[in-house]
Chains A and B, each alone.
Chain A
Amino acid sequence: MSLVAVVAVLPPSFLLAWLLSRGRFPGKLLLDALVHLPLVLPPVVTGWFLLLLFGRTGPIGAWTEHWLGLVFIFRWTGAALAAAVMALPLMVRAIRLSLDAVDRRLEGAARTLGASPARVFATITLPLCIPGVLAALVLGFARSLGEFGATITFASNIPGETRTLPLAIYTSLQVPGGEASVTRLALVSVVLSLLALVGSELIARRAGAGRGGHVI
């Protein structure tokens, strides 16, 4: 679920990061603020906004159900959506920082060597910001794994459907004698998070061979 959320939200994150890093347009500050909203709002409020927008009668929710047959509320897709929205600002930030760090002069050099803007992007910009994209994936994954407030507000806490790891831990804590399963779930989250961190660090090292690209 977290994986779906993070992978689905990666392209829009990259696009937004690109706009915020390179674009010059009116309303850029507003877009910047909107993107960061889920980071500063109480997650429950974000969840409630999602409820308004993506509920079965909400403007977007009604549209997706009618045209795509996609229902978010009380479904795992809703939990994924909540996780994605919460992960978005962190991912945009990480990718944007790495885009800012790409030396524009290298892109200029590539242009004088005959490369079109599209080729410059594919051969220079993208490879040079891969460590940032990986960092974004890890951050986004961790964020969506830990997402609680927006999920419980928007998608509820339904076993096997929208019960995410933190919701499961919370539920077990409410039950007398649930400590064993809490320990088990906590261990699972530690292992998942560690795997994501170590894996992305390894990829970044390989991608950054000789240049010292790091996620952690």
Chain B
Amino acid sequence: MSFDVDVEKRLGERRIAACFRSEAGITALFGRSGAGKTSVLNMIAGLLTPDRGHVVVNREILFGDGVNLPPEKRHAGYVFQEDRLFPHYTVAGNLTYGRRSHEREAEWMSFDAVVDFLGLAALLERMPISLSGGEAQRVAIGRALLSAPRFLLMDEPLSSLDAARRDEIMRVIERIRDELKLPILYVSHDRAEVDRLAAQIVALD
């Protein structure tokens, strides 16, 4: 499991650049707000095209050397800063949205296993608008896990939560790291959070 990222992008007046390699379970991308951390994640996910550089995850070239895979072919499990649940689908509909796109054999975690893992059983018929922040973020994590990702991108998944919920989601992330062995790139501006979770820290400024 590894990230090998070297990207550069000019957005208006700002120049965003990140260059790092990591073999750690959780790699933290750490830096003050506005340093372009989210843009780096977007470039790795394929939502933003770098001006130059390369993105290689688990030895697969996602960008660079004339390759530029569209986001749907990159198998990234992206957990956004806000939950970004689809408002017109139930929780169950959100969870299964990414599932159909992949062969069933590739589905490495069953629906029931994810529901169980994240404690979502009671929420399945609810609409996203009725969920609390912690519940919504758990659903968003479950949705990403069910899309059979090869790596996870997490963009300050705790920032919209209160202290109690933060601890709950933090434990979920630790379990993903320890039990599912998925490489995780974790964006945060909170030093304590980063120290607790990540084995390698990449500073961005």
Contacts and interface: CB of A to CB of B under 8 A. Distances in A.
Contact of B80 (A109, A111, A127, A210): A109
A112 B129 contact: no
A108 B86 contact: no
B98 interface: yes
The B contact surface, by secondary structure, is loop
Interface string B128-156: 01100000000000011001000000000
B30 interface: no
A211 interface: yes
Interface of B: 42, 45-47, 70-72, 74-78, 80, 82, 84, 86-88, 97-98, 101-102, 127, 129-130, 143-144, 147
Interface string A82-118: 0000000000000000000001011011111111100
A119 B70 CA distance: 14
A138 interface: no
A1 interface: no
A133 to B, nearest CB: 14
Given A105-B84, A106-B84, A127-B88, A111 B47 contact: yes
A124 interface: yes
B70 A115 contact: no
Contacts of A168: none
A106 B87 CA distance: 9
B80 A105 contact: yes
Nearest to A130: B88
Interface residues of A, number: 21
B97 A211 contact: no
Interface in A11-40: none
Nearest to A108: B47
B78 A112 contact: yes
A6 interface: no
